[in-house]
């Protein structure tokens, strides 16, 4: 599936005055399947899941949106891109879609949105949705343990960040993606082409430095988000690719120790984007973790 085909598979929905790209596998939910809400990672977008959808859609109505500043969603340049706001966008989108209960699946950047949702749930704030479970996949939730890539550090810096973003190109993206796959041959050129198209769509380079600031927000909100995981009564599934060089497996094991309602599944021989590297294995384990839980 190329970038244009992915665009045609979704729709634009206005939320809080901004347009978000949304993929919804079955808006009518004609088969009355449980809903799976997916929160994607950085610096990519909802396209990460196109190879996993045939497996996931067999069991769920799947809804994925591009976070503001990502993919085909709006990319305002005069915007802070706070993860707190990204959480508001997600919750308001799901409310607009009439979702009243669902499972949440989060990867990478999306895990910060998920942990903010968990924190709000702990505070008994109205989320307008019943969360059936949360599945966390390869995100640097314990940011102090994360092994940030050199380009992430450059993009994070207020001086080098805008320059590096402006000079970034498809070759740079390709190299950095290959370096975080377990088997770098598993990512195909057409996938890199599509991801690059969506990253740069609507002047995406101009906001890349801004969206990268999420890393600092993980430090700033550490107590809130780790505290939420420690005190939540929600069912937490941790499905982690073992060979991720960024969100290392130690993070998964630490979360499992801290979170009393969690189970842990470690997938061997997979890197940071397991849903692209081995969609069948990853999807089948995600489905089993959610639907076969003993919690």
Tokens 């901004």, residue located:
18
Integer Cα distance of 205 and 50 in angstroms: 23
What does the pLDDT read at residue 160? 81
What is the phi/psi pair of residue 7, to 5°? -60, -40
CB 115 within 8 A of CB 229: yes
Residues 6+ away with beta carbon under 8 Å from 176: 149, 151
Spell out the alpha helix ranges (H) of 160-260.
160-167, 170-178, 189-200, 205-211, 214-220, 222-231, 249-258
pLDDT tens track for 68-89? 999 999 999 989 899 999 999 9
Strand order of the β-sheet with 236-241 is 11-15, 18-24, 61-65, 35-39, 101-107, 130-137, 236-241, 262-267
Residues 6+ away with beta carbon under 8 Å from 215: 140, 143, 148, 152, 156
What does the pLDDT read at residue 162? 75
Centre a 10 Å sphere on the Cβ of residue 156 and count the other Cβ atoms it contains. 17
Give the domain ranges of the chain: 3-291
Residues 6+ away with beta carbon under 8 Å from 38: 46, 49, 62, 63, 64, 104, 105, 106, 107, 110
Integer Cα distance of 73 and 32 in angstroms: 28
CB 99 within 8 A of CB 63: yes
Tokens 């929160």, residue located:
39
Integer Cα distance of 168 and 148 in angstroms: 18
What does the pLDDT read at residue 124? 83
CATH T-level fold of 3-291: Rossmann fold (3.40.50)
Integer Cα distance of 183 and 230 in angstroms: 34
Tokens 């599936």, residue located:
1
What phi-psi label fits residue 2: left (phi over 0), alpha (psi between -120 and 50 degrees) or beta? beta
What does the pLDDT read at residue 295? 46
pLDDT along the chain (295 residues), means of 10: 96 97 87 94 96 97 98 94 96 96 97 97 89 97 84 76 77 89 94 96 92 91 96 96 96 96 97 97 97 68
CB 112 within 8 A of CB 217: yes
What is the phi/psi pair of residue 19, to 5°? -95, 125
Indicate the pTM of the whole model. 0.94
């Amino acid at each position: 599936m190329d970038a244009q085909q992915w665009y045609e598979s979704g729709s634009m929905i206005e939320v809080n005055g901004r347009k978000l790209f949304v993929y919804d596998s079955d808006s009518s939910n004609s088969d009355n399947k449980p809903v799976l809400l997916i929160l994607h990672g950085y610096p990519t977008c909802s396209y990460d899941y196109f190879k996993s959808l045939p497996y996931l859609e067999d069991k769920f109505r799947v809804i994925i949106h591009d976070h503001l500043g990502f993919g085909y969603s709006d990319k305002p340049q005069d915007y802070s891109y706070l993860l707190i706001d990204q959480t508001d966008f997600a919750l308001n989108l799901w409310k607009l879609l009439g979702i009243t209960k669902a499972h949440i699946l989060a990867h990478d950047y999306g895990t910060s949105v998920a942990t903010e949702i968990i924190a709000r749930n702990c505070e008994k704030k109205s989320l307008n949705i019943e969360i059936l479970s949360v599945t966390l996949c390869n995100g640097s939730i314990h940011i102090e343990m994360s092994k940030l890539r050199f380009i992430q550090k450059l993009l994070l810096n207020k001086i080098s960040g805008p320059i590096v973003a402006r000079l970034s190109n498809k070759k740079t993206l390709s190299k950095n993606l290959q370096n975080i796959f377990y088997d770098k041959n598993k990512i195909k050129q057409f996938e890199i082409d599509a991801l690059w198209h969506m990253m740069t769509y609507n002047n995406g380079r101009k906001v890349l430095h801004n969206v990268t600031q999420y890393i600092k927000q993980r430090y700033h909100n550490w107590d809130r988000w780790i505290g939420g995981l420690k005190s939540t009564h929600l069912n937490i599934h941790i499905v982690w690719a073992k060979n991720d060089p960024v969100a290392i497996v130690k993070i998964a094991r630490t979360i499992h120790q801290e979170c009393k309602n969690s189970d842990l599944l470690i997938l061997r021989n997979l890197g940071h984007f397991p849903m692209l590297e081995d969609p069948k294995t990853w999807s089948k384990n995600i489905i089993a973790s959610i639907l076969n839980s003993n919690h």
